Amino acid sequence: MRPKIELHLHLEGGAPPAFIRGIAREKGVDLSSIFRHDGGYAYKDFGHFLKVYEAATSVLTRPEDYGRLTRAVLEESAANGVVYSEAFLSPDFCGGGDVGAWREYLSAIAETARKAEADLGITLRGIVTCIRHFGPEKAKTIARCAAETKGDFLNGFGIAGDEMVGKPRDFRWAFDCAREAGLRLTAHAGEWGGADSVRDAIRDLAVERIGHGVQAIDDPALVDDIAEAGITLECCPGSNVFLGVYPDWASHPIEKLREKGVKVTVSTDDPPFFHTTMRTEYDRLSATFGWDETVFEEIEANALAAAFCDEETRARIAKTLKKGT
Ligand code: ADE
Ligand code: ZN
């Protein structure tokens, strides 16, 4: 199987529904309202998705729950050929923003990742992510958690959540704090908020990657700017199609952005929520746009270059990619 790099994966968003149901059962929590009869997550639109996501996450109350989650997510990623992954981690959900508690959650995640590297052959790195609809004050607390725990495992800082709440500039302090601590930066933008949202995130937060960013396609000058600046887009086409950002795969702008010289990459976002995997994403891209080995090699090269890991790790992953193709 082709080795793959994934740059945009929410750790809780990778939780298999059976895993969450199992933990809920162990803790005697009734979460039946967030599941469909066939066992999958039940939600009707993006706003509802965020609520169901938070409800599912609410049963993960201890560092060891996050250790088990990390193992479940990495097993699934490795089974789909992922050899290097960056996961969004949320101190809001892991200790409520308390740095001491966050350190314990982070240790459980990083320790599980270290073991999985040895026995599954997948390398994980973390990106602390603040949640936009929790507001700028919360984001400051989360940035401090990130700054305090930057290290070999934790390399980045970002923002997720409801893009229609607030503006990127409201989060400038948090991003400045993370940058000053040496963290690399990404922001969700242009999933729901249009091209302006992407332009604002690049200008006001000085990020080097954009989560999604696909709605930049509606502003040709912005697309040129993104290509020229070498900003990488963490595209998640299956997520966008499932949530209705685009009606079908053929309408997704990933190929148009690529043709215009934008560095695009491919990720799953929240795979069980969107009924996708990295293998499914690759198969659909191949079937829809005729992407072949050469294009996938370009995509992997983009992802490797934009990964937030140290250079030694990048060189090791480069070798793994070469061996596998
Ligand atoms: N959190 C988890 N998935 C997300 C998405 N697709 N957009 C914004 N925030 C998220
Ligand atoms: Zn996302």
Catalytic residues: 191
Give the helix/strand (H/E) hosting 51: helix 46-57
Measured from the Cβ of residue 301, the count of other Cβ atoms closer than 10 Å reads 15
Q: What share of the chain is helix, strand, coil (3-state, %, to 5)?
A: 55, 15, 30
Distance, CA 325 to ligand 1 centroid (Å)? 31
What is 4-16+62-324's CATH topology?
A: TIM Barrel (3.20.20)
Distance, CA 266 to ligand 1 centroid (Å)? 15
Residue 4 Cβ inside 6 Å of ligand 1? The answer reads no
Task: Look at 206 and 1; give whichever has higher pLDDT.
Answer: 206
Provide, rounded to the nearest whole percent, the portion of the chain with pLDDT above 70: 100
Which residues touch 227 (CB under 8 Å, ≥6 apart)?
A: 260, 261, 262, 263
* CA–CA separation, 196 and 211 (whole Å): 14
- Alpha helix segments (H runs only) across 87-166: 99-120, 136-149
Residue 184 has pLDDT above 90, yes or no: yes
- CA distances (Å), origin 320, targets 20, 82, 167: 32, 11, 40
- Could you give the count of Cα atoms lying within 13 Å of 315 in the half-sphere of its Cβ? 3
Ligand 1, residue 192: give the atom nearest the CA: 7
pLDDT of residue 311: 98
Q: Give long-range contacts, CB 8 A cutoff, 24+ apart: 244-249.
A: 244/45, 245/191, 245/192, 245/214, 245/215, 246/214, 249/284, 249/285, 249/287, 249/288
Distance, CA 9 to ligand 2 centroid (Å)? 6
Distance, CA 160 to ligand 1 centroid (Å)? 6
Sign for the CA dihedral angle at 274, 276, 278, 281 comes to negative
Mean pLDDT to the nearest integer, 208-232 = 98
Residue 227 has pLDDT above 70, yes or no: yes
* CA–CA separation, 317 and 195 (whole Å): 33
Ligand (nearest to CA of 274) = 1
Strand-pairing partners, residue 131, are: 160
- CA distances (Å), origin 23, targets 64, 68, 101, 148: 11, 10, 20, 30
Residue 188 Cβ inside 6 Å of ligand 1? The answer reads yes
Residue 55 has pLDDT above 70, yes or no: yes
**The pair of three-digit structure tokens given for residue 248, joined into one six-digit string:** 């079908």
Sign for the CA dihedral angle at 311, 304, 320, 276 comes to positive
Arithmetic mean of pLDDT over the chain? 97
Mean pLDDT to the nearest integer, 11-36 = 97
Q: Ligand 1 pocket check: which of 6, 191, 192, 236 to mutate, most ligand atoms within 8 Å of Cβ?
A: 191
- Could you give the count of Cα atoms lying within 13 Å of 286 in the half-sphere of its Cβ? 11
Place of tokens 């162990």: 26
Question: What 8-state DSSP symbol labels residue 271?
Answer: T
Full DSSP string of 189-233: ESSSSHHHHHHHHHHHH--SEEEE-GGGGG-HHHHHHHHHHTPEE
Q: How many helices (H) and strands (E) does the chain have?
A: 13, 8
Residue 15 has pLDDT above 90, yes or no: yes
pLDDT of residue 133: 97
Predicted confidence (pLDDT) per residue in 106-147, tens digit = 999 999 999 999 999 999 999 999 999 999 999 999 999 999
pLDDT of residue 324: 83
pLDDT of residue 325: 59
- CA-nearest residue for atom 9, ligand 1, is 161
Ligand (nearest to CA of 43) = 1
Measured from the Cβ of residue 88, the count of other Cβ atoms closer than 10 Å reads 24
Residue 263 Cβ inside 6 Å of ligand 1? The answer reads no
pLDDT of residue 120: 98
Ligand 1, residue 191: give the atom nearest the CA: 7
Predicted confidence (pLDDT) per residue in 73-95, tens digit = 999 999 999 999 999 999 999 99
Contact 164, 136 (CB under 8 A): no
